Amino acid sequence: MSKYSMLGQLIAHPGKRDELAGLMLESAETLQGMEGCIFYIINESVDEPDVLWITELWETEEAHAASLKNEGVLAVIQRCRPLIAGVKPVKLRPLGGKGM
Amino acid sequence: MSKYSMLGQLIAHPGKRDELAGLMLESAETLQGMEGCIFYIINESVDEPDVLWITELWETEEAHAASLKNEGVLAVIQRCRPLIAGVKPVKLRPLGGKGM
């Protein structure tokens, strides 16, 4: 089964990036014990003040899909929603490398 | 000391992405034993046929800088160069999450 990679920009409403990052870091806490999540990292853009980049790697696409049904994750998504002005996902296929 | 994140697009010359990905995967082999490299993953874009995305996490910015002086890494960079039409780095500050 091939691994599943997610990459995406979250664009916060002006001035709301830090608050959004805080909530996303809480969501990462929920993922700590979640099976199939290899990494899930919240980054802030250096050049774009309202932009976060989320980089994720999962054992399978199914593991990622299952995480989106987790109650803790859903609760965080609900709380993030009012802070988010836009989302730009980048569809990737992970090929290999260190840490996979 | 804070961790160091790299994210970037490599745009191959038309039709050269697979060859470029193969070389980049060799470079990842060189990094397997390299201190300070937490992950270094080569992904292909699903929607853009000439684009690779590289996602990296390092223990420190210095560890990343040191890797660029490694002879094996430099040799791979030289071999990749003729296949690359463009590079778009995204400057990030990693904030936290699972796998950091």
Residue range A10-57, pLDDT digits in tens: 999 999 999 999 999 988 888 888 889 999 999 999 999 999 999 999
Total domain count, chain B: 1
Q: What is the pLDDT of residues B48-100, one digit of tens each?
A: 999 999 999 999 999 999 998 988 889 999 999 999 999 999 999 999 999 88
Residue B94 placed within a domain? no
Judged by CB atoms closer than 8 Å, whether chains meet at A99 and B7 is answered as: no
Residue B99 placed within a domain? no
Judged by CB atoms closer than 8 Å, whether chains meet at A93 and B46 is answered as: yes
Q: Which of B60, B55, B2, B54 is nearest to B36 (CA)?
A: B60
Q: What is the pLDDT of residues B11-29, one digit of tens each?
A: 999 999 999 999 999 888 8
Residue A40 placed within a domain? yes
Residue B95 placed within a domain? no
Judged by CB atoms closer than 8 Å, whether chains meet at B91 and A47 is answered as: yes
Evaluate whether A99 touches B28 at the Cβ level (below 8 Å): no
For chain A, what is the total number of helices (H) and then of strands (E)?
3, 4
Residue B92 placed within a domain? no
* CATH of residue B33: 3.30.70.100
Residue B98 placed within a domain? no
Evaluate whether B96 touches A24 at the Cβ level (below 8 Å): no
ipTM of the complex: 0.91
Question: Identity (one letter) of the amino acid at B60?
Answer: T
Residue B62 placed within a domain? yes
How far apart CA B33 and CA B22 sit, in angstroms, is 19
Between chain A and chain B, the number of residue pairs with CB atoms below 8 A apart is: 117
- Residue B59: domain span: 4-87
- Within 8 A of A44 by CB-CB distance, chain B residues are 92-93, 95
Residue B41 placed within a domain? yes
